A and B are shown apart, each in its own frame.
Chain A
Amino acid sequence: MQTAATKTTMPVPPRRHMKEMVAFLQASPFLLPALLLFTVFFFYPIVKVVYLSLYLTNSKGVAKHFVGMQQYVELFTSPDFIQSLRVTLEFVLLTVIPGVFIALLLALLLEKQIRGLSVFQTILFSPISMSVAAVSTIGLMAFNPSVSLLNWILSNLFGIPNINWLNGPWTALLAISIVTIWMNLGFSTIVLLGALRNVSQELYDSARVDGVNALQRLYYITLPSISPTLFFVFVVSMIGSFQTFGQVNILTQGGPAGSTNLVVYSIYRNAFFNFQYGLASAQAVVLFLIVLVLTLLQFLVVERRVHYS
């Protein structure tokens, strides 16, 4: 990103200090608003959350007693937290793999410029505009056995007896996963479609000359070409799934018996209902590390791609 703006010429040494001061003063009104907000609401809290995780706090959240790593030890030996982590991992698998797969199919359907495409596109993108509260509330009705159209369809088409979705441990997690997959479909489809439309036409042309069939084309040209984006969508979906909260709060409140107690919901309960701010902060630090590793992974892979292309 070399532009004229980045080519700095060094001023003459004696006046350098003055010039730097002037440049700094000139830049500060532009940068201070954002810098101040970032400091107060991003950097300070990330330090504070680590600090709180090392202390026992009172019910107001004031650090009272230094306990070092004890709360982390407590977390990783607590069956509740282990269950919460396990359930979160299951949820991530349940949402990300089918979610990206379905989005890829939708993007492939939308790839070709055909008549009426914009109508289909708007409809298939529509989940992006829906909020977690709206979607979860629809889910509340869809999974309620006394009014569930879903159950009616399942029992009439497939002979599956009426399921009490939100009261069974597995089905509750499945219900939350279905809601989440639907919610994220729009985003993943948009991003994958963007990548599909960028695949080099020359590759497709030469494939046609070689008489390659549709499946071979998909496997040997399309998928390798969009693999960086596919990876990106996977990672972003994973991060999103780790951050899930609204679906749980509206549909199951973590239950039954902790079977949908995803990490963020667990942090919320521990901090704002049990007033264990220190313990909740330790959980938040664990969540931060998970998201950080995923983000860095994505960053490294994208960097490598940039170097090769």
Chain B
Amino acid sequence: MKENRVWLVIRYILLIIASLVVCFPILYSLLISLETSEHVSTYPPQLWPHPFHFASYAEALQAAPLGRFLLNSFIMSAIIVCGQIVTSLLAAYAFVYLRFRGRGVLFLVFLATMMIPTEVTMIPNYMTIRSLGWLDSFAGLTVPFLANAFGIFLLRQYLLQLPYELFEAAKMDGAGHWRFLISVVVPLSRPILATLAVYVFLQSWNMYLWPLLTTNSTSMRTVQVGLGMLQNQDALSWNLTMAGVVIISLPTLILLFFAQKHLVKGLTAGAVKG
């Protein structure tokens, strides 16, 4: 028993050390963002802001059109989330409730897209978007991501667990596929749709390479790419840069705090980090 107590204390100590080390970069960016620029550039580095200098945030929002970038990122992520929910739900429904020739093969074909990394297809996709005249537009930012095999797979697994009798009962009541989908399947699938939404939001919000390639103008840049503008401004205002880091990380950190269950579920099922 005594030995167990000792181990527990050791476990706590190790957990505290590990937590400090792991969250240090986030804490560090937060602390630097609250310092003045003179304070930041002193050496040896001073960790604790004295006094707290919230003006960095206002300055950061002025130094680059971060507000516009945030709005762009929100619109882009919202479109991708909605698109993936619709396409995934429809396809998953067909794979579970409809019987047609080649269903198994088609499912494998869909799954095969998971083996194709976006970095491999970016050259032709860039050309496609360019020839459609979609560079520097929300269409170019979102359309290639409106369907994803992961979403279909996740929802199909979920729908397979719903009792099939529901479908038979609805059929007896004379409900067609569309009515059954909207009035029975959608309400029952709310938890898994939330998981998918949270996971896809995280992925789209954090996307870097594709927005970098396909957007040029300040008015279409997303927040991840726009952050770079804060570095080029002035090499010494690290407090502004870190304020930018905190601002762009806030939405996903909020997800971590309030939707951790969904995030964890999505990530473990998804296994692909973009």
Q: Please tell me if the beta carbons of A130 and B22 are within 8 angstroms of each other in the complex.
A: no
Could you say which of B19, B160, B253 contacts A3, with CB atoms under 8 Å apart? B160
Bound-state CA distance A42–B120 (Å) is: 10
A-binding segment of B48-56, B57-65, B189-197, B220-228:
B220-228
Q: Please tell me if the beta carbons of B115 and A128 are within 8 angstroms of each other in the complex.
A: no
Bound-state CA distance A284–B123 (Å) is: 9
Across chains A and B, the number of contacting residue pairs, with CB separation under 8 Å, is 266
Bound-state CA distance A67–B244 (Å) is: 47
Query: If A138-B29, A245-B119 touch, does A24 touch B43 (CB 8 Å cutoff)?
Result: no
Scoring A5, A122, A137 by chain B CB atoms within 10 A of each residue's CB, the highest score goes to: A137
Interface members, chain B 75-132 (any A CB < 8 Å): 86-88, 90-91, 93-94, 96-101, 103, 106, 109-110, 113-117, 119-128
Q: Please tell me if the beta carbons of B268 and A184 are within 8 angstroms of each other in the complex.
A: no
Tell me the minimal C-beta distance from A151 to chain B in angstroms. Answer: 9
Could you say which of B22, B94, B244 contacts A185, with CB atoms under 8 Å apart? B22
Query: If A34-B91, A133-B224 touch, does A281 touch B123 (CB 8 Å cutoff)?
Result: yes
Q: Please tell me if the beta carbons of B227 and A133 are within 8 angstroms of each other in the complex.
A: yes
Tell me the minimal C-beta distance from B144 to chain A in angstroms. Answer: 4
Q: B242 interface residue, CB < 8 Å from A?
A: yes
Could you say which of B11, B128, B147, B273 contacts A240, with CB atoms under 8 Å apart? B273
Bound-state CA distance A114–B7 (Å) is: 12
Q: A232 interface residue, CB < 8 Å from B?
A: yes
Interface members, chain A 125-170 (any B CB < 8 Å): 125-135, 137-138, 140-142, 146-149, 152
Closest A residue to B157 by beta carbon equals A1
Closest A residue to B253 by beta carbon equals A129
Q: A304 interface residue, CB < 8 Å from B?
A: no
Q: B231 interface residue, CB < 8 Å from A?
A: yes
Q: B175 interface residue, CB < 8 Å from A?
A: no
Tell me the minimal C-beta distance from A124 to chain B in angstroms. Answer: 5
Interface members, chain A 57-101 (any B CB < 8 Å): 61
Q: Please tell me if the beta carbons of A24 and B128 are within 8 angstroms of each other in the complex.
A: no
Q: B212 interface residue, CB < 8 Å from A?
A: yes
Tell me the minimal C-beta distance from B50 to chain A in angstroms. Answer: 16
Query: If A131-B252, A141-B238 touch, does A123 touch B19 (CB 8 Å cutoff)?
Result: yes
Q: Closest 4 interchain pairs by CB?
A: A45-B124, A131-B206, A30-B94, A45-B121
Which B positions have Cβ atoms within 8 angstroms of A? 7-8, 11-12, 14-15, 18-19, 22-23, 25-26, 28-29, 32, 40-41, 43-45, 47, 86-88, 90-91, 93-94, 96-101, 103, 106, 109-110, 113-117, 119-128, 143-144, 146-147, 149, 152, 160, 164, 177, 202, 205-206, 208-209, 212-213, 224-225, 227-228, 231, 238, 241-242, 244-245, 248-249, 252-253, 255-257, 260, 263-264, 267-268, 271-273
